[in-house]
Amino acid sequence: MPLLFAHGPLHGSSRMRHWVQAGFAVFLSATAAGHAQFDASVPSHRTDLAYDGRFTFVRLRWGSDLGFSRRGGFSSAWNHDYPRAERHLSLILEDLTALDIHTDGSLILPLDDPELFNYPIAFMWEPGFWNLTDREAGAFRAYLLKGGFAVFEDFDGQDQWANFAAQMRRVLPDGRFVRLNNTHYVFNSFFLVKDIDAIVHPMSGIRPSYYGIFEDNDPAKRLMVIANYDNDVPEYWEWSGDGVYPFDASNEAYKLGVNYIIYGLTH
């Protein structure tokens, strides 16, 4: 079944593209402050959603033996920004697209859970601390090769890249990372993101790099994996209603998130 868009596909007329982007800015401006109120009004974020064909945000859960700790009492790396980041992005998707999407909750799945195969897109936080079991590596490989699209977020520095790359070699031993630029369709699948490097790390301000692994290592084929390296895009989603980061930066970060979802659902 083809995916329908509430405001038309990006690659339509330039007038339509301008209208979509202007409408997005107005929407975000009007609702960002309401995100905090939304968080306060929802007593819990459901994680017991059963598969029903609706789009559901999936976050990957994994173990680490690298001693990671997070402020606020978190002892894991995979749960950074949870659940505000996925909740806010889901609300944006509900308003801007015709996706039938769960906004009342999301899923947290381990990499070797058969349930993961019901969901075409999965996000992972802090892969710089990721540690795989052999079972997880095999199951995740099968997921990606069968059509899954994985987005890796929130990691920086050479040590974290080295750990991430080592784990990915266990998942896709023959996979090769390719650095992506603005010309790849993943950055223009709904919104036109003019300068992907301008979506800088919200805390350090360093400019990011984007790397992908393609099916059969062929850039003309499907993108299976994208890694937002030296960046933390979901940090913008999490705090968009609190005025922590500039509006324009949060706006671009949401565009990137929407593009990833639309790409994963249409490829």
| pLDDT at res. 45 | 87
Share of the chain above pLDDT 70, in %: 79
User: Using CA atoms, how far apart are residues 119 and 149, in angstroms rounded to an integer?
Assistant: 9
Please state the length of the chain.
267
Q: Considering the domain boundaries, does residue 138 fall inside one?
A: yes
| Structural domain contains residue 172 | yes
| Cα–Cα distance for residue pair 78/61, rounded to 1 Å | 6
3 part of a folded domain:
no
2 falls within a domain: no
First to last CA, the chain: 13
pTM as predicted: 0.84
In a domain, 4, yes or no: no
Instruction: Write out pLDDT tens, residues 179-232.
Output: 999 999 999 999 999 899 999 999 999 999 999 999 999 999 999 999 999 999
Angstrom distances, CA of residue 264 to CA of 44, 65, 125, 131: 28, 30, 17, 25
SS (H, E, C) the chain: CCCCCCCCCCCCCHHHHHHHHHHHHHHHHHHHHHHHHHHHHCCCCECCCCCCCCECCEEEECECCCCCCCHHHCCCCCCCCCCHHHHHHHHHHHHHCCCCECCCECEEEECCCHHHHHCCEEEEECHHHCECCHHHHHHHHHHHHCCCEEEEEEECCHHHHHHHHHHHHHHCCCCCCEECCCCCHHHCCCCCCCCHHHCCCCCCCCCCEEEEEEHHHCCCCCEEEEEEECECHHHHHHCCCCCCCCHHHHHHHHHHHHHHHHHHHHC
8, part of any domain: no
Residue 7 is assigned to a structural domain of this protein: no
Asked if pLDDT for residue 29 goes beyond 70, the answer is no
pLDDT tens-place string over residues 45-86:
899 999 999 999 999 998 865 554 444 434 578 898 999 999
28 lies in some domain: yes
- CA gap 79, 36 in Å, rounded: 19
User: So what's the pLDDT on residue 44?
Assistant: 78
Residues paired with 223 in a beta bridge: 214
Q: Quote the domain boundaries for residue 152.
A: 14-266
- pLDDT above 90 as % of the chain: 73
Q: Count how many domains the chain has.
A: 1
CATH number for position 199 = 3.40.50.12140
